[in-house]
Amino acid sequence: MELIKTYDASLERQVEAAEKLDDVRVKLDGRLAIAKQEREELGFLLQLAKSKEISTKAMRSLDSLMGQGDSEVAQAAENIRRRLDHADAAWEVQTKSLDNQLDDAMQSLEVESELAARMERLGI
């Protein structure tokens, strides 16, 4: 009977350990998904930064054209400048949104990590 009780207790502990490992696996899968999403967002941000560099070069080029005095060139340059300003504003809004999403995801990961550490210390 003692041996059966020992085996039952051992089985119970192993089942609990397996359930904990499964919970950890699910959390890690979630973190992996978040990391992949963040990677895509960072790639998008990199593309936006490159676009911003190109637009800055274009604006410098427009500045040099505007100094030549041709009114048609100046008007075209001004129209392009307005479009670039609009694109810059859209870029800033998108960057702010992505920054907020990344901050939220990182906070969530930190909370989950702290919770897992506390549960582990408590033996849960």
Q: Tell which residue, 71, 34, 12, has the closest CA to residue 4.
A: 12
**Single pTM value for the model:** 0.43
75 has a pLDDT exceeding 70 = yes
* Mean pLDDT within 17-29: 88
In angstroms, the CA 124 to CA 70 distance is: 76
